[in-house]
Structures are given as structure tokens and as C-alpha cells.
Structure 1
Amino acid sequence: MGRTRDDHKVLRAIVEAAESGKELVNADDLIDRTGLGYESVQRALRTLSASRDLFFKVNLGAGGDVVAVHSVTALARLVAAGLPTTPEKPDRRAQGLLRTVGTAVGGFALTLTAKVLANMITEQTHR
């Protein structure tokens, strides 16, 4: 199950609350901050907390609902800010250029190493 727009809205609200100094963010506070209903917030919290402590830690109520979140991670802050955590599409041209440069530098380094070793051997044999 992928993340939804509501999930991102809830995550942003969690991060904003944490950055304003709240160490423990209640689910009711998230309802107020996002304007979403109880079930929507709970669904988002379940989705976001499915990857154990990736974004934050949760306190569960007796019925299994999330009553509060805490310990917001740096990854949560990045995702909430909309910063990419992984590249979406690799740049094939850049990859090809890097491969070409890497091959050339590697070849040069190998040639240089061989010449240095040859000089060292030559010096040792002429002593």
C-alpha cells in the first residue's frame, strides 16, 4: 500500500508540531492541524508507522489506535519537506559519462602504477 496525500499531510503536521517544541504529538492535535477526520489520521499513522520507527515512534491505545507520536526522525523531516530521499530516475547520460571518466582514470592509474613499479625494479637491479 503506497502513501497518500493524507499521509504526507499528517507527516508534515507531526514534523511541524515537533519543530515547535512538542515532544509528544497527540492524535487529536493532528486532527486539528490537518483538518482530516479521525479515521483518515489513524489510517495515515498506521501507514507511516508500518516501517517500525522509520519516521517516529508511536504510543498505542488499548484498542490499537495511535494516541500519540514522538521521537521524530531526520528522515521524517526530509520527507515532510518534500526533499528527495532517493533519485527518481537515473540520469543515463551522466552515468555513461561517469563510467567513461572512471575507465579513463582507472586506466591512467594502472599505467602510472606499472611505470612506478618498473622504475623501482630497475633501480633495485642496478644497485
Structure 2
Amino acid sequence: MIEEAPEMVAPALHGAYTFNDRRILDRAANSTPGLGRFPRWAEMEKTLDIEPWARPLIEMCLRNADGEVFLTTTAVLEWMLTEDIRRPDSTFHVDDEDEDDTEDLGEAGEGWMAEQGFDTPDR
């Protein structure tokens, strides 16, 4: 499923990592997989404390051709979810003028679902 729907597999590693090097995470978050600056999993893994329960899942992912990129991406996503927004110097900002963006998210979700082959709801 890594190739077909990585967003469905990534949550399996939620809570698996503790982060020790912000620089590599910044670099990965600001680069593109397959290009020079995007770190390989072996480089990323050295900077992480990994929960023992996650090791079999990681080994399973590494047997996949896209497993290294997937694992590095899951580490960056987890970091962004759990650590980055809590930093005092974070650029995370809530726009007070547009607090309710539910409709925008709904439209975006409908668009994504349509791209996946699902019918759009009649409104």
C-alpha cells in the first residue's frame, strides 16, 4: 500500500519516533524526495530514537522499493505534527479573520475524492 496510498500507511508509525536533530528534519521538510538534499533513511534513522514496537514495521517498509523515502517522510510528518508547531519560534499561525474554513476543507476533500475515482456528492 505504500505505493498506492502512503497516507493510509503512515499513521501506523504515529508515535514511533523521538527526534534528536532538528536540522535534518528541517532539511527533509524543505526538500523533495529523490533530489540531493532529501536525506536517506539511514541518515535520518541515526538521529531518531525509535520505539521497539515500530522496528518490525520499519523492516517491512524497507523491503519495499519506496520504503526509504516513505520512512523519511513519515518521520518528517510526525515531527511536524508533534514537535514543530510547539516551538516558541514556530511560524504556525491561525488567521483570526477566517477561523471557520470548514467549507474550504470540504471542497478540497471532495476534489481529492473525485481524483481518486469517487463520485462527488450532489448538493
Q: Which has the higher contact order (CA 8 A, sep 6+)?
A: 2
- Output the TM-score relative to the length of structure 2: 0.28
- Output the TM-score relative to the length of structure 1: 0.28
Which has more helix, going by share of residues? Answer: 1
Which has more strand, going by share of residues? Answer: 1
